[in-house]
Amino acid sequence: MSRLSQTLSRLTQYTLASCLIAGGVFTSAAAQAARVTVTVDGIQTTDGAILAGLFDSAASFPQKYVQGRSSVAKTPSVTLTFENVAPGRYAMSAFHDRNGNGKLDTGAFGIPTEPLGFSRGARAIMGPPSFADAAFDVPAEGLSLVIHLNEKAPTAAQRNATERFWAALHGADYAAYPAALAAVQAALVESPQDPVQNAHLGWLHIWHLSEAGSFAATPQDMGADLTSATRSFQRAVELAPDEARYLGFLATTLFLESAVNSDAAASRRAEATMARAVQMWPEFNLFTAGYIHSSDPFDSPQYATAMQQMWQDLDVCAGQPVSREHPGFAKPPVQTNVGHQRACWNSSIAPHNFEGFFLNFGDMLVKQGDIASARAMYANARLSATYAEWAYRDVLERRITDAEANVAVFRNSAGSSEGEAHMMVQSNFSCMACHRGSRSAST
């Protein structure tokens, strides 16, 4: 077997956000007439090879390609040809395998350290783009396209910032917050156009604001956090307008600012921003929308809307309508780590996203007074394979026991708390419930 064949048949890993570009069938079994030619440009060195994969569905992207191609790296570009492609809808990825090891090398937290690109200029931000963002149609006569590699691997400052950011967040390491904040700020001085670090800065301020009790933050600190978070997410959205998560977090900070200032017009603008974010990525932003309003009065229109959004999120994550009377699952829905539904599950970004979702939803149902549904919702968290490792498992178990007593507690609570007498959104684990790592990793 030639070196080229060996390289193409090896597992091509794309571990950003736990996703893979894995070599499946190297060429399509059924011969078709169409030819797809791709020019991969932005190649900076002649080291190694250029690898590209063609994907035919959202289910396979970016895990299993129908065809793969490779070429020795040449500057400034190489052209690869995919033969016998059935007319239809496809997406493509390519990367510069600089060291010739047959895989996309990554650093801490799965950040690629080799140049990477996708069809239609789709961007990999905190995970691979969606199939829809990268998709193109192949007609019977074939077509040609260009993929531009992100030729800039992260700088040392960017890698340091990202590593410190995730280490602090996943470790619930409040003492590491100042160093993480300083590292992200330093990375932005060097690379102010980096949407990821702008978003990281926003998230750090949101964490500091949301769990102010754990940080001993003053009201002045909290006001500064909110202003800085809004500014950071606005910048991230400007730099990456197709990143729905950034837009959802921007809507969150805009809602908070409108509430602080009692500004009805600003609240309407925030609502419109959130609606766009939900439309772009419902699985992620329906939860974002519902969560931000879970602290509103239980009998308010905003709380009723938030409850609807949580139910809708559960429906889209389950892939079918979930019973409002009996929402308990006998077994978890089919899990995925690709596409928009990956937001419904635990991941490298949110190690206990599944458990945190049901803790919050249970809290909201308790506040509404629906005790039976709340207990069933809380119990769904036990279906997670990592439930035993979750740092807040005991909190949830006490929630089930104390559900009736917590109705009045949740309805009357205001502000954040260092204890458990508040809803998740108002607690000192409002971020950590989803983002803190396992008990062993967090101690």
Candidates 172, 163, 171; CA nearest to 200 is 163
Strand partners, 138: 88
Which of the four pLDDT bands, split at 50, 70 and 90, describes residue 364? Answer: very high
pLDDT score of 325: 94
368/293 Cα distance (integer angstroms): 13
Q: Which of 202, 259, 209 is nearest to 416 (CA)?
A: 209
Would the pLDDT of 416 be above 50? no
Q: What is the mean pLDDT of residues 369-379?
A: 97
pLDDT tier at 98, thresholds 50, 70, 90: confident
User: For the segment 313-354, what is each residue's pLDDT rounded down to a tens digit?
Assistant: 999 999 999 999 999 998 887 787 667 888 999 988 899 999
In the chain, DSSP finds a helix count (H) and a strand count (E) of 17, 8
Give 376's pLDDT tier (boundaries 50, 70, 90).
very high
pLDDT tens readout for residues 35-82: 999 999 988 888 788 999 999 998 888 878 999 999 988 888 999 999
Q: What percent of the chain has pLDDT over 70?
A: 88
CA pair distance 413, 140, nearest whole angstrom: 63
- Quick one: pLDDT at residue 338? 62
What's the mean per-residue pLDDT of the chain? 86
pTM for this predicted structure: 0.73
Q: How far apart are CA 34 and CA 141, in angstroms?
A: 6
Q: Which pLDDT score is estimated for 111? A: 73
Neighbours of 355 (CB within 10 A): 27
Question: Region 169-189: what's the mean pLDDT?
Answer: 97
* CATH class label, 156-442: mainly alpha
d(CA 257, CA 279): 23
Give 390-435 as a DSSP string: -TTHHHHHHHHHTHHHHHHHHHH--S--SSSSS-GGGSTTTTHHHH
Residues of the chain with CATH 1.25.40.10: 156-442
pLDDT band for position 440 (cuts 50, 70, 90): very low
Return the pLDDT at 153: 65
- Check residue 420 and give its pLDDT: 63
pLDDT of residue 191: 93
pLDDT(412) > 70 = yes
Q: Residue 23 has what pLDDT?
A: 34
Among the residue ranges 127-131, 139-143, 161-165, 195-199, the one predicted with the least confidence is: 127-131
**pLDDT, tens digit (0-9, with 9 covering 90-100), for 238-263:** 988 888 999 999 999 999 999 999 99
Tokens of 272: 């419109």
- pLDDT for the residue numbered 128: 83
* Helical (H) or strand (E) element with 93: strand 88-97
Give tens-digit pLDDT for 99-155. 777 788 776 667 777 889 999 988 877 778 889 999 999 999 999 999 999 866 678
For the record, the structure tokens of 115 come out as 């140049």
* Rounded-to-integer distance, Cα 259 and Cα 417, Å: 19
Lookup: tokens for 271: 């609502």
